[in-house]
Structure 1
Amino acid sequence: MSTPADTAERAQPRRKPEARLIGLLGPAFVAAIAYVDPGNVAANLSAGAEYGYLLVWVLVVANVMAVVVQYLSAKLGLVTGQSLPEVLGGRLSKPTRLLYWGQAEVTAAATDLAEVIGGAIALHILFDLPLPVGGVIVGVISMIMLSVQSRRGQRTFEFLVIAMLAIIAVGFVAGLFFTTTDWGEVAGGLVPRFEGSSTVLLAASMIGATVMPHAVYLHSGLARDRHGVSKDPDRIRRLLRATRLDVVLALIVAGGVNIAMLLLAASALPGVPGTNTIEGAADAISTHLGAGVGLVFGIGLLASGLASASVGAYAGSAIMAGLIHRRIPVLWRRAVTLIPALIILAIGVDPTWALVLSQVVLSLGIPFALIPLAWYTGRADIMGSFVNSLRLRIAAASVAIAIVTLNVALLYLMITGQD
């Protein structure tokens, strides 16, 4: 399995500017899979079923944040020819690199947990398979998908992931057409507010599921690998224009899917027993909206687990290679990181709650990816003439401050037990 660092140089001589911007699109759609993984399903359904439209604003804000973050990540890769982990690995001392890699691996493990558990739940919903068996199947199929990238190249892998994204969108949005949404309440949900520490916990999990650390680390490598390393300012400017379009389109899709999930739960599932779990929500969707809608939802959840498991394993490999300069074949890594999820499934931990908590871990890991990204892309000695403008530096700093503030509030409320 090739990694971003392995493929950049040998890919460069073959790169030619495409005639149209549409031919440059794709990397952001791979990264966007991280924004519609099973962790999103758990967090969004829980938020909608328990608190109605209260936290719609969280998804809107998170998606705006994601546009800024993913553009900066891709920009770093295109301008420097290095992924974010490689830039970090080249500037941190060895002890600091090891610590940084350790926290990044914790967030990667949380990612793997969400993806495998979500896929296993989908197989249980669709075929009544035991969760551990479903977890193994998800792991095996994700390995097959990763082999496509290794053997057929990134472009083929992009097409495969985009096809899965289309299935996810249909699966999670379809139910919205069979329920009645109170748009006045939706508008009220755009006003930022919380109702106790439990809503802060859910908000953190929703942001952790939207602005995901591994997507921040990965996108810089995806953009670099897809387009090659170039020193031509005109080509870089063209690639950055295409990247802005790529990111906006991809996150319109992902953000729309996330908001649709919350609206579906808020409209159709409030007060319905058992909707605090994905299985219960799926049963409720089938009961209240029809078996066909429930089936489509299950298919969307399965596609989400399979696609995000592949992208997550690819990201973990890139993080390790960039930070500690060690390369483990990504298929081996996928096999090893499958073990914790299978243990969770086997011992009977509530899988939906495990998913929500995994998203909180991801939220806590975001600053470690986001702050260096904002710092490096704002430095002229690294970015040259493509250094962030004042407006973009302010936007990046605002995103970082907002996320860190939310995490501090979350930790305070959890430690003090306030509600």
Structure 2
Amino acid sequence: MSTQTQTKPVSEEQGWLKQSSNTSLEEVNNTVSVPNKGGFWRKLLAFAGPGSLVAVGYVDPGNWATSIAGGARFGYTLLIVILLSNLVAMLLQALSAKLGIVTGRDLAQATRDATGRKTGFFLWILTELAIIATDLAEVIGSAIALNLLFGIPLLLGIAITTLDVLLLLYLQKKSFRIIESIVIVLMVTIFVVFAFEVIASKPEISALFGGFVPKMEIVTNPSMLFISLGILGATVMPHNLYLHSSIVQSRQYKRTIEGKREAIKFSLIDSTFSLTGAFFINSAILILGAAAFYGTNLDVSEIEAAYALLSPTLGVGIASTLFAVALLASGQNATITGTISGQIVMEGFIHLRISPWLRRLITRLLAVVPAFIVTWVAGSKGTGELLLWSQVVLSLALPFAVVPLVLFTSDKKKMGEFANKLPVKILAWICTVVIVALNIFLIGYIVVTGQEIG
């Protein structure tokens, strides 16, 4: 099976489409028809949506503490790191979408086809661990937000997050488009909140723009370098690559060469626009940390501390509350995409089909249970340690998603005329080598020192 799939030209991809049509996303009314005729904006609207689901992974609660601490300790200097990280993410997500559109296979399915059952099972375990690790940040972030907003204890907040599964089940039965719309609303909410926070913090404009200029100090200063690596390492999430290659197939359009070319164009616009929004949000988080806390000697290494100090520092009473609202929106957003990714990799890697409600419940509980136990035993300090080791799992899983993605999209037998051109291929491999090297460095640092980045 592997050999046949590897050598199968694009013209025979209908066999792949028939294999992949029995996916979890087909169980719901998730398809969106693309008009054969119509203007640019009408078609763009039809293709819009998947990019927002993907962008969620770049503004999840796991990134907040690092960005705030980076701004508080080093001002605007690390804004260039956020910019470069986002550009790499745009490239890899574009390749992921192209793989799904051209081959009719998501990244998990394509990897299983090329490697076989045993390797597919190993990669499924590794990817599931990465999704659980990512979900831990969302679970803990949502619990912290509930605690800050309503005084709900962390343990109860973690338990409440299991209810997300029931809501997701209901929404998917209605329409996948509804989920995309909710995600967009939550992303806009986060954006508006941080726009207000940044304006209220009155950042120094010249220093802010200066932060987008590369500085040698980022490499020579160990503390600055470690936080930079933390930002880079947390930017490209492996589950996002699997997710994007699957959900772009939810659009109904003509599977001709011209139709695919048009789909690639509009999916690129969709993902680039959404990831640009994620870039502004991540930049705003660091700018807020810099404007509010840089030079104050206040310890804002944790989200709770930033919440407590934000209103007094800015002199705006509602600032802390809005911060917690944005955190809750971020946690709920990322929860949706993590759960959907879980069902995609399960069916893609091991061809296991179970009831939708059971699959999503398992995905959620695998993240909730360890977070609940550790919080119960060790309190908030324990959740910090848990998040630390979740970074290690993510770092281990990332190369197993990025390397196959670049290989597949560069393969003319799979992609035909859509295979990566030489400049894209070189750039993609440079990004891959950098990502893998940085993640290996991160793992070594965490394992050897047992300390969190920064």
Same fold by TM-score greater than 0.5: yes
Q: 1:367 aligns with which of 390, 396, 399?
A: 399
Structure 1 partner of 2:331: 305
1:163/1:356 Cα in 2 relative to 1: closer, same or farther (>3 Å)?
A: farther
Q: 1:103 aligns with which of 111, 120, 126?
A: 126
Of residues 192-201 and 371-380 in structure 1, the stretch that sits farther from structure 2 once superposed is 192-201
Residue 391, structure 1, aligned to residue 423, structure 2: yes
Work out which of the two has the higher radius of gyration on C-alpha atoms and give 1 or 2: 2
Instruction: Please state whether the residue corresponding to 1:320 is helix, strand or coil.
Output: helix
Counterpart-to-counterpart distance in 1, 2:384 and 2:199: 25
Counterpart-to-counterpart distance in 2, 1:363 and 1:52: 27
Q: How does 1:281-320 map to 2 (within 5 A)?
A: 281-289=306-314, 290-320=316-346
Contact 1:4 1:318 (C-alpha < 8 Å) held by counterparts:
no
Contact 2:347 2:353 (C-alpha < 8 Å) held by counterparts:
yes
Counterpart-to-counterpart distance in 2, 1:149 and 1:13: 14
Q: Report how many residues are paired.
A: 415
Structure 1 partner of 2:437: 405
Of residues 9-18 and 402-411 in structure 1, the stretch that sits farther from structure 2 once superposed is 9-18
Give the deviation of 1:105 after TM superposition.
1.7
Give the deviation of 1:357 after TM superposition.
4.9
Give the deviation of 1:197 after TM superposition.
4.5
Q: 2:272 aligns with which of 216, 239, 248?
A: 248
Counterpart-to-counterpart distance in 2, 1:164 and 1:339: 26
Counterpart-to-counterpart distance in 1, 2:254 and 2:24: 16
Counterpart-to-counterpart distance in 1, 2:363 and 2:128: 13
Of residues 150-159 and 174-183 in structure 1, the stretch that sits farther from structure 2 once superposed is 174-183
Residue 340, structure 1, aligned to residue 370, structure 2: yes
Contact 1:73 1:219 (C-alpha < 8 Å) held by counterparts:
yes
Instruction: Please state whether the residue corresponding to 1:210 is helix, strand or coil.
Output: coil
Structure 1 partner of 2:168: 146
1:12/1:54 Cα in 2 relative to 1: closer, same or farther (>3 Å)?
A: closer
Instruction: Please state whether the residue corresponding to 1:190 is helix, strand or coil.
Output: coil
Contact 1:169 1:257 (C-alpha < 8 Å) held by counterparts:
yes
Structure 2 partner of 1:79: 102
Residue 163, structure 1, aligned to residue 218, structure 2: no
Of residues 16-25 and 88-97 in structure 1, the stretch that sits farther from structure 2 once superposed is 16-25
Counterpart-to-counterpart distance in 2, 1:293 and 1:22: 34
Give the deviation of 1:395 after TM superposition.
2.0
1:132/1:414 Cα in 2 relative to 1: closer, same or farther (>3 Å)?
A: closer
Of residues 201-210 and 171-180 in structure 1, the stretch that sits farther from structure 2 once superposed is 201-210
Amino acid paired to 1:177: I
Q: How does 1:26-41 map to 2 (within 5 A)?
A: 26-41=49-64
Amino acid paired to 1:43: T
Contact 2:112 2:120 (C-alpha < 8 Å) held by counterparts:
yes
TM-score normalised per structure 1: 0.91
Instruction: Please state whether the residue corresponding to 1:194 is helix, strand or coil.
Output: helix
1:166/1:269 Cα in 2 relative to 1: closer, same or farther (>3 Å)?
A: same
1:344/1:318 Cα in 2 relative to 1: closer, same or farther (>3 Å)?
A: same
Give the deviation of 1:334 after TM superposition.
3.8
Residue 177, structure 1, aligned to residue 199, structure 2: yes
Query: Can you list the C-alpha shifts for 1:228-266, whole angstroms capped at 9, x where unaligned?
Result: 475311111111110111011101100100011001101
Q: How does 1:116-265 map to 2 (within 5 A)?
A: 116-140=139-163, 142-186=164-208, 187-188=210-211, 190-192=213-215, 193-194=218-219, 196-224=221-249, 226-228=250-252, 230-265=254-289
Amino acid paired to 1:147: L
Counterpart-to-counterpart distance in 1, 2:117 and 2:102: 25
Counterpart-to-counterpart distance in 2, 1:12 and 1:235: 20
Counterpart-to-counterpart distance in 2, 1:285 and 1:4: 49
Counterpart-to-counterpart distance in 2, 1:249 and 1:48: 25
Structure 1 partner of 2:86: 63
Query: Can you list the C-alpha shifts for 1:117-142, whole angstroms capped at 9, x where unaligned?
Result: 000000111011101111122221x2
Counterpart-to-counterpart distance in 2, 1:354 and 1:7: 31
Query: Can you list the C-alpha shifts for 1:149-176, whole angstroms capped at 9, x where unaligned?
Result: 4211211111111111111212333211
Give the deviation of 1:393 after TM superposition.
1.1
Of residues 34-43 and 91-100 in structure 1, the stretch that sits farther from structure 2 once superposed is 91-100
Of residues 199-208 and 275-284 in structure 1, the stretch that sits farther from structure 2 once superposed is 199-208
Counterpart-to-counterpart distance in 2, 1:162 and 1:26: 8
Contact 1:27 1:223 (C-alpha < 8 Å) held by counterparts:
yes
Instruction: Please state whether the residue corresponding to 1:82 is helix, strand or coil.
Output: coil
Contact 2:233 2:438 (C-alpha < 8 Å) held by counterparts:
no
Structure 1 partner of 2:65: 42
5+ long unaligned stretches in structure 2: 1-20
Amino acid paired to 2:375: L
1:170/1:195 Cα in 2 relative to 1: closer, same or farther (>3 Å)?
A: farther
Query: Can you list the C-alpha shifts for 1:104-126, whole angstroms capped at 9, x where unaligned?
Result: 12211111100000000001110
1:413/1:342 Cα in 2 relative to 1: closer, same or farther (>3 Å)?
A: closer
1:6/1:139 Cα in 2 relative to 1: closer, same or farther (>3 Å)?
A: closer
5+ long unaligned stretches in structure 1: none
Query: Can you list the C-alpha shifts for 1:286-320, whole angstroms capped at 9, x where unaligned?
Result: 22122211111111100111111111111111111
Structure 2 partner of 1:6: 24
